[in-house]
Amino acid sequence: MSVSRRELLRAAALIPAAGALAACATPVQQTPATQAAGAKKALEVWIFDGGFGHQYATDIHQPLFKSKFPDVEVKHNFTKEITKVLQPRFAGGNPPDVIDNSGANAMDFGALAQDGQLLDLGPLLEMPSWDDESVKVKDTVDPAVINFGTFDGKFFVLGYVNYIFGVWYSQKAFTDNGWAAPKTWDDFIALCETIKKSGKMAPFTYAGKHPQYLYEILLTMAAKIGGNDVLVNIDNLEDGAWKAPAMLEAATRWAEVGAKYLMEGTAGLDHVQTQTAQNKYEVAMLPSGSWLENEQKSTTPPDFAYGMFPVPDVTGSDKLPYGTLHTQPGENFIVPAKAANTQGGVDYLRAMLSKKAAGDFSKMVATVSVVKGAGEGLELSPGVKSASAAVAAAGSNTVFYRWQSWYAQLKDEAIAATGQLMTGGVTPEKYLERIQAKAEEIKKDSSIKKFKR
Amino acid sequence: MRRRLFIFSFLVAPVTLYLVYVIAPYAQAFYIAMTNWRGVNAAPQFIGLENFGRLLGDGVFWKAVGHNALLLALLPVITIALALVFAYLLNVGGAGGRTGVWGSKFYRVLFFFPQVLAVTIVAVLFQQVFRPDDSGMLNAPLMALGLKPVGFLSNPSIALWSVMAVLIWQAVGFYVVLFSAGLASIPREMFEAAQIDGAGRMSMFFRVTLPLLRDTVQVAWVYLGIIAMDAFAIVWVMTDQHGGPDRSTTVMAAEIYRNAFQYFQFGYASALGVVMFFFVLGFAVLSLRLSRRERIEF
C-alpha cells in the first residue's frame, strides 16, 4: 500500500483531535467495564512505599492471598505519591481494588468518604477470620481500629499498624550518664536541667520543620491532665475546646521547654535530621512514635537501645493515671467503592489480618500490628519491646484524636501555630486562640464535611 | 491554494494541541471555579460565585498575594540591576572599554551555571546551604566565629528574603547572557565615539549602554515579573511546611496547589487560579503599556 505525503499529513493532523476527548480536566462519569462471567478477575493493589517499604506486600500478604485464591492475578504496584497517581483514577471512575492510602501525600479520607468513594468494610468485620472460621474478623483486631476507621457510622478504613507515641531516648545514654526516665513533669524539667548542665548533649528536640510531632505530645498531655474529653471536644469542634484549661496548662509547659531546653537550630531541622542527631548523642530526648526504631535503623549505633517513656504526671491531680498513652492505628488500607473487584479487595484485607501475615509483617518491619497477639513469641527489638511494655502498662488508658485527618486546614493551622509557640512567636494563650479561631471557621464552613466521634 | 493547504496541514497539529492542552483547561478552570468539586466525585455541584466570595476573606491567600507583590516589586529590579552590571563588566567594562574585565570568559560560564540546574535541585541544595546547624554552609562559619546560627528558613521574618535571594541567584545568569547579546548588537563605534568624547565607565553605562538596551530590559522585566508571580517550585520544595514557617513565604501558586491537592477543594483552588490568571494578565498588559516608547534606531 502506498501512502501519499498528503494522506500522511492528513492522518497526522487527525491524531491530536482524537486525543482531545481524553484531555478533559473535569470529571467524566464512566461505567466500569463489565467483567465477563467466569473470567479470571485481577486484583490491583497499590502500596505506599514509605517507612515500611512495599516488600511486605509481595513477600508476605500476596503469597498468602494467592494460597486461597490461586486464580486471581494480583497486580502489585507501589508509589510514594498516592494522591498524584491515584486521584485521577478516582475522578475517572476506575480506581484500583486495594490502596494503602498512607504517607504525607495520601488522599484525604474526608473527601473520599464524603463522595461515597469508599467501600463499607463493615461486612469484613463480620466475616469469619482467615485463620479460624469460628472467629469473626472484628474479634481479632484492636478495637481502636474500628473506631478509627469509622466515618459517619461506616467502617471505611483499616489501619494495619498500631502507632504508639511517647518520648524516645537512648537507654545506653541514660544508663551511662545515670539519668532516669522521668515520672513527673518536675522530674522531667530537672532532667532537662541536668542534661543541659552536663554539656554532653542538648536535652530535648523535635522535628522543627514538622511541628505536628510536638503538638502530638502537647495534646496527649492535655488529655492526661483534663481527661479524654479534652480530645473528644477538640475532635467534635466544640466551642472553646482548644481553650480548655488543660490545653493552656500543656501549652504553657511546652512553651517553657521551647524557650529553655531545645537543641540549637531545632526549628529548622526535620525529623530525620533531629533523629540522626539523637543517634549521634547530640540530643537526649524527642517525641515520636513506634515507627522510629525502624525508620532510624541505618543510623542507629548497635548499642543505642531505643527506649520510650509516656507523658509524665503534670499537676499531681491529673484526670488520667501515669502511663496514659496515645495510640493510633496507621498505615491505612481502603477498598474503593467503584473498584472492579471489591470482593477480592475485601479478601485481601482479610488475609492481611491473619496471625501469620501480621506476625511476619511485625517482624519484617519492626513494628506493632493491630492484630491481637500477632507479636507473641517473636524476638523483638529494644524499642518495640519498650513500646509494647508501655501499651501493656497503659491497659485501657489510651487516648487518640482524629481532627487532623478530618480537617486538613485545621492541621495546617495547628502546625504553623505550634512552630510559633515553640520559638516564642506567640504566647500560649494566643496560640490556643489562633487554633480555636480556625476550628470555628471550619465549623461554620458548610463546604467541609463534619465528623463526630 | 495548494500551498495554503500545505501550510495549514503543518499548523493543524500544534494548534490542536494548544487548544486541547492549554486553552481548554483554562476554560474548564473557569467552570470548575464555580463548583464545589472535591476532585474525586463525578458530579460537581454548581455554586455560582460562592468560591470568589470566600477567597475575599481568605487571609492566607491575601498574605500570599502580598508576598507575590513584594517579589514583583523587588525581584525584577535587583536581578536586572545585577545582570546589567555583570553583563557590562563582562563585555565592555575592561580597561580599554572595548573588552570585558580580566577573567570574563570564566565568569561568563560561572554565571550561567545556576540556569543549568533544575529548580528542584536548586531548592534542595539551598536547604543545605541554609541549614540552621553546623552542617549549614552559611551557618557553619557563623557558628565557628561563636555567633548564633541564623534561621534562614526557620525564622518567619527572614525566610521570604532567603527565598528571594535564591530566586535572584538562579535568574541572574540568564539575564547576563541576554544582556550580553543585547550589548553585542550595539555598534562598537557608539562606545568608541563616547570614549573619544571623554565618557568614563559610569557615564558610558548610563548614557550609552542602558538606553540602547531598553528593549531587552523591557523583555527581562516581563519575564522576571512572571517569575515573581509564580515562584512556586522554590517555595514548595525549599521552605518548611511548603510556604512556611507560619505561612511566611507562601505564594499564590502554593495556595492553589495546597487547596487542590491537600485540602481537595478543587473548585476553590480553581477560583484562586482564576484570580491569579487575572493578576498575571493584568501585570503583563500594564508593564507593556507603561514601557511603550519610541524605539531608538541605529
**pLDDT on residue A31:** 46
**A268 vs B: CB within 8 A:** yes
**B128 vs A: CB within 8 A:** no
Shared domain for B126 and B224, answered yes or no, is yes
**pLDDT on residue B98:** 64
Alpha carbon of A151: minimum distance to chain B alpha carbons (Å): 17
**A94 vs B: CB within 8 A:** no
Report which of residues A11 and A264 the model is more confident about. A264
Q: Total structural domains in chain B? A: 2
- Residue B246: inside a domain, yes or no? yes
Mutate to test the interface with B, among A9, A14, A90, A411 (most CBs of B within 10 A): A9
Shared domain for B222 and B112, answered yes or no, is yes
**A420 vs B: CB within 8 A:** yes
Q: B41, A116: Cβ pair inside 8 Å?
A: yes
Minimal Cβ distance to A26: which of B28, B130, B156: B28
- Tell me which residue of A275, A209, A227, A221 sits closest to A248, measured CA to CA: A221
Residues of chain A with C-beta less than 8 angstroms from the C-beta of B258: 412
Q: Can you read off the three cell numbers belonging to residue A425?
A: 512567636
pLDDT digits (tens, 9 = 90+) for A66-83: 999 998 999 999 998 899
Among A226-240, A408-422, B1-15, the least confident range: B1-15
pLDDT digits (tens, 9 = 90+) for A387-404: 888 887 887 888 999 899
Minimal Cβ distance to B42: which of A23, A29, A264: A29
Q: B246, A417: Cβ pair inside 8 Å?
A: yes
ipTM over 0.90: no
Residues of chain B with C-beta less than 8 angstroms from the C-beta of A416: 241, 244-247
Minimal Cβ distance to A10: which of B9, B24, B261: B9
The residue ranges of chain B whose pLDDT is under 50 are none
- Residue B14: inside a domain, yes or no? yes
Shared domain for B126 and B243, answered yes or no, is yes
Residues of chain B with C-beta less than 8 angstroms from the C-beta of A431: none
Q: B241, A416: Cβ pair inside 8 Å?
A: yes
Q: A107, B40: Cβ pair inside 8 Å?
A: yes
Size of interface A-B (CB pairs under 8 A): 141
Shared domain for B82 and B171, answered yes or no, is yes
Q: B149, A23: Cβ pair inside 8 Å?
A: no
B175 and B88 Cβ atoms separated by less than 8 Å: no
- Residue B132: inside a domain, yes or no? yes
Q: B40, A87: Cβ pair inside 8 Å?
A: yes
**A441 vs B: CB within 8 A:** no
Q: Is the pLDDT of residue A304 over 50?
A: yes
Q: B9, A84: Cβ pair inside 8 Å?
A: no
Shared domain for B127 and B23, answered yes or no, is no
**pLDDT on residue A147:** 84
Minimal Cβ distance to A13: which of B12, B40, B42: B12
Alpha carbon of B263: minimum distance to chain A alpha carbons (Å): 6
Residues of chain B with C-beta less than 8 angstroms from the C-beta of A29: 42-43
Range of the structural domain that residue B108 is part of: 69-262
Alpha carbon of B5: minimum distance to chain A alpha carbons (Å): 10
**Helix, strand counts (H, E) of chain B:** 15, 0
- Residue B252: inside a domain, yes or no? yes
- Residue B253: inside a domain, yes or no? yes
Mutate to test the interface with A, among B240, B257, B266 (most CBs of A within 10 A): B240
CATH of the domain at B249: 1.10.3720.10
**pLDDT on residue B42:** 67
Residues of chain A with C-beta less than 8 angstroms from the C-beta of B31: 26
Shared domain for B15 and B115, answered yes or no, is no
Q: Can you read off the three cell numbers belonging to residue B295?
A: 524605539
Return mean pLDDT, chain A.
Answer: 87
Shared domain for B114 and B7, answered yes or no, is no
Q: A115, B9: Cβ pair inside 8 Å?
A: no
Q: A115, B29: Cβ pair inside 8 Å?
A: no
**pLDDT on residue B218:** 86
Q: Is the pLDDT of residue A2 over 60?
A: no
Residues of chain A with C-beta less than 8 angstroms from the C-beta of B24: 20, 23-25
Residues of chain A with C-beta less than 8 angstroms from the C-beta of B25: 23, 25
**B157 vs A: CB within 8 A:** no
Alpha carbon of A450: minimum distance to chain B alpha carbons (Å): 14
Give the integer Cα–Cα distance in Å for A104 and A106.
6
- Residue B19: inside a domain, yes or no? yes
pLDDT digits (tens, 9 = 90+) for A245-296: 999 999 999 999 999 999 988 988 989 999 999 999 999 999 999 888 888 8
pLDDT above 70 as % of chain A: 91
Shared domain for B13 and B134, answered yes or no, is no
Measure the CA angle with vertex A118, ends A115 and A124; round to 5°.
150
The yes-or-no answer to whether A42-162+328-388 and A164-327+400-444 have a common fold is yes
Shared domain for B125 and B215, answered yes or no, is yes
Residue of chain A minimizing CA distance to B263 = A408
**pLDDT on residue A4:** 53
Considering the four listed CATH numbers 3.40.50.300, 3.30.70.20, 3.10.20.30, 3.40.190.10, the one that applies to the domain covering A164-327+400-444 is 3.40.190.10
Shared domain for B16 and B114, answered yes or no, is no
Shared domain for B161 and B17, answered yes or no, is no
**B97 vs A: CB within 8 A:** no
**pLDDT on residue B244:** 82
- Residue B41: inside a domain, yes or no? no
Shared domain for B251 and B133, answered yes or no, is yes
Q: Is B283 helix (H, G, I), strand (E, B) or coil?
A: helix
Q: Is the pLDDT of residue A140 over 60?
A: yes
**B258 vs A: CB within 8 A:** yes
Query: What CATH superfamily classification does A42-162+328-388 receive?
Result: Periplasmic binding protein-like II (3.40.190.10)
- Mean pLDDT for A292-319 is 91
Among A9-13, A214-218, B4-8, B53-57, the least confident range: A9-13
- Residue B291: inside a domain, yes or no? no
**B195 vs A: CB within 8 A:** no
Report which of residues A35 and A248 the model is more confident about. A248
Q: B17, A28: Cβ pair inside 8 Å?
A: no
**B1 vs A: CB within 8 A:** no
B141 and B158 Cβ atoms separated by less than 8 Å: no
pLDDT digits (tens, 9 = 90+) for A70-119: 989 999 999 988 999 998 899 888 999 999 998 878 888 878 888 889 99
Q: Distance of CA B50 to CAs A270, A384, B33, B55, B129, Å?
A: 38, 50, 9, 9, 43
Domain ranges for chain A, please list them: 42-162+328-388, 164-327+400-444
